[in-house]
A and B are shown apart, each in its own frame.
Chain A
Amino acid sequence: DVKVTQSSRYLVKRTGEKVFLECVQDMDHENMFWYRQDPGLGLRLIYFSYDVKMKEKGDIPEGYSVSREKKERFSLILESASTNQTSMYLCASSTELALSWYNEQFFGPGTRLTVL
């Protein structure tokens, strides 16, 4: 069974702290994605990665960075957390292989981050 796991379900941090959100997938997928989800705004893409050590900016990369040192792990970093980064963060993965469900994305359970 395919699986995407995220390091924490709930996280509370203080303004100015450096925050790491970890995501691990066990499907050998090439592609990994970080979204944030806010009421009324749907899912907004922060960063994505199509291969190890590669990263691409999504729609809202400001205030975030990412790291992908291994194929199965994709980390989202908030260099200096701010209250407007309080949100639900979702990680997803997909594969580019042919006959591969046409790029269906598999999602983790989400991390609800609160920045005080």
Chain B
Amino acid sequence: AQSVTQLGSHVSVSEGALVLLRCNYSSSVPPYLFWYVQYPNQGLQLLLKYTTGATLVKGINGFEAEFKKSETSFHLTKPSAHMSDAAEYFCAVSETNQAGTALIFGKGTTLSVSS
């Protein structure tokens, strides 16, 4: 079965600094990978996804992630943090069985941004 590990449950950066949120996955087949963001008291919103093709994926709000098969990683980055980026971020991998497809989520990383 697939699994997702997010390194660091809490990341703190200063406004304007680089954001790096780490995600490693295990999958026996080519994975579909996702990053979701959750703002306080809201549901999850898709930031970006990797399916096939270009390994550098650009998402909303200036975020991007790079799929590295050799490292089984899909780290999320943003060159310059903004106060509005403070939220919880979840990495997920798609898992398909005979019944259908579900997402396997990591435990999440809370991003704090200080001025």
Q: Which A residues lie at the B interface, using CB under 8 A?
A: 4, 9, 30-31, 33, 40-43, 45, 48, 50, 56, 58, 90, 92, 94, 96, 101-110, 112
CB distance from A48 to the nearest CB of B (A): 6
Interface size, chain B (Cβ < 8 Å): 24
Given contact pairs A103-B32, A110-B41, A110-B42, enumerate 13 new A-B contacts (beta carbons under 8 Å). Answer: A31-B101, A31-B102, A33-B102, A40-B9, A40-B107, A42-B107, A43-B44, A45-B102, A48-B100, A48-B102, A94-B103, A96-B101, A102-B32
Q: Is the CB of A50 within 8 A of B49?
A: no
Partner of B99, one of A56, A103, A106: A56
Residues of A close to B51: CB separation below 8 A? 102
Q: Is the CB of B102 within 8 A of A107?
A: no
